[in-house]
Every structure is written in C-alpha cells, then in structure tokens.
Amino acid sequence: MSIQARVQPTREEDEPSQEVFGWLLSITVGDMTRLASRIRHRVLHASTSTSRLVARVAGPFNLVHIVELDHLKRVIRVPASTGSGDGMTKTAARALESQVTVMRLIAKETRIPVPTVYEFDTSSDNDIGAPYICMSFVSGDTVSRLWFDGPTSRAMEDRRLRILESTAKAMAQLSRLSFKKIGSPYEGTDGTIAIDP
C-alpha cells in the first residue's frame, strides 16, 4: 500500500488550532490512512492498494480527515474533546454513540441524505489513539458558505429559496420521528432505539 502525505486545508480558517485540538494534530498520515484501510477491510471486505490523506479540516468540535482509498473517499471525524490528552469522558463517549444512532436512524427512516457510518470507536485503543467516527464522504458545500456566496442577485435569492425549501422538507421528515420522552437516542444491542438522559 502506498501512502501520500500531502495534507491541504480547504481554507485558511480551517487551519486547526493547537489550543483546541492539542495532541490530535500529531496523528500521522500513516496512522490515519492505516485506520481507514483497516476499517474498509473489516466492514467492506475490500483491500486497499493506494491511500492518501486528501485534507484535514478543523470544525468547532471535530478534526475531520478526508482519506482517499483507491479513489474512494472516506471521512474520519475525531472529536476535539479528546485534544487535551485526558481521553474521552463517559458523557462525551455517550454523546458520540448518540450521534451515530441519530445518523443511522435518519438514514433508515427518512430520505434526508446523511453519510453512512461504517465504524466508530469511543476509546483510544485503535490505530490513531483517539475516538473517531468513520463514514462515507458526501460532497457539497455548507449552507453558510452558499447563503452568502457572491453579491445579492436574483440567482442568490433563488438559491436561498431552494435552501429554505429543502430545509423545510427535511424538517417535515424529521417531525415524524418522535419519542415518548426527552433525551439522547441510543441503539441497543437488539437494534431497538432507547432514550437515555
């Protein structure tokens, strides 16, 4: 397997902060691509001949790695809450589990496009030494970028109306998902959804 070490943030403001992400910035390209390749082999039963880290993008709560394995992109999202080196608290681990449950529930019960979650780990006992979620890559742009992209014009107003319409359609689909109590959804070992505090 060949590994390329070119990492490019998509924008200057995507440069990750040492203060926020700490030691997570020292995760090597080799460790990240090795993790992605092993997940691909475990979950999809496919081997990888070439891999590279396409980009590393910093969000407010996650460090997102876009890895390309034989021309297929995958995303490995690492929570910033582990950047201090203290590991993930039990509450943060449950929140990560709940995020995975919600993404899988939305994919199963609606037509809203969400990434496929291939694997997640709330521990640090893995190739990168940090919790992560590995999911499919969904191309596109953020609403915040599209909303303000360019001077105000008829085309921009039409784009904004399409954004609002698609948001309303997604909200209508989400409104069908209801639970008997407030809390965080988790998938039980039997596949049922439970709501915890």
Query: What is the 3-state secondary structure of 128-190?
Result: CCCCEEEEECCCCCCHHHHHCCCCCCHHHHHHHHHHHHHHHHHHHHHCCCCCCCCCEEEECCC
> What residues are paired with 69 via a beta bridge?
51, 72
Q: What is the average pLDDT across 52-66?
A: 90
Percentage of the chain lying above the pLDDT 70 cut: 89
User: What per-residue confidence (pLDDT) applies to 12?
Assistant: 46
For 78, the token pair is 């690492």
User: What per-residue confidence (pLDDT) applies to 26?
Assistant: 87
Task: Please write the tens of the pLDDT for every residue from 158-187.
Answer: 999 999 999 999 999 999 988 889 999 988
Task: Count how many Cα atoms sit within 13 Å of the Cα of residue 171 in the half-sphere of its side chain.
Answer: 6
Q: Is the pLDDT of residue 151 over 80?
A: no
Element (H, E) at 56: strand 50-58
CB 24 within 8 A of CB 79: no
User: What per-residue confidence (pLDDT) applies to 61?
Assistant: 86
Domain ranges of the chain: 2-138, 141-178
Average pLDDT, the chain: 86
Domain at 2-138, CATH class: alpha beta
For 85, the token pair is 């080196």
pTM: 0.82
